[in-house]
Amino acid sequence: MTIRVFDLVGELCMTHEDGEIVHKALLEAFKRGENVELDFDKTRIFVTAFFNASVGQLLEKSTKEELLSRLTFINLPPAAVDALRHSLQNAEEYYHDPAFREALDKILGDLSQSQ
């Protein structure tokens, strides 16, 4: 199955909310047992928050290898590759390394209290 990101959120892949829309579509396809091509044709601006919400949180219940065996990225502009890679790396560490998760949660908690 192909999910066209542009059809769901338009050309800008910037917000957590847009990522959630794509995440929901991915979950529905995976629940049906489908493999997915995530097509980024016509998209042009990307931030890590979008990838955290759309793809990164899928690593909560699977390994990166398991996820990437069911999910492929097509027409992903070079400008998006680093943001996607960074998101997947952080999500993998967060969900699968308790010490990393504890340290990050503490830092984020401290930051939110200081503001």
Which pLDDT tens digits describe the chain residue by residue (115 residues)? 999 999 999 999 999 999 999 999 999 999 999 999 999 999 989 999 999 999 999 999 889 999 999 999 999 998 899 999 999 999 998 888 888 778 777 776 766 676 6
The domain of 51 spans: 2-114
The distance of Cα 60 from the centroid of its chain, to the nearest Å, equals 11
Structural domain tally of the chain?
Answer: 1
- Residues pairing with 13 in the sheet: 46
pTM of this prediction?
Answer: 0.86
Torsion angle of alpha carbons 64, 81, 47, 18, nearest 10°? -60
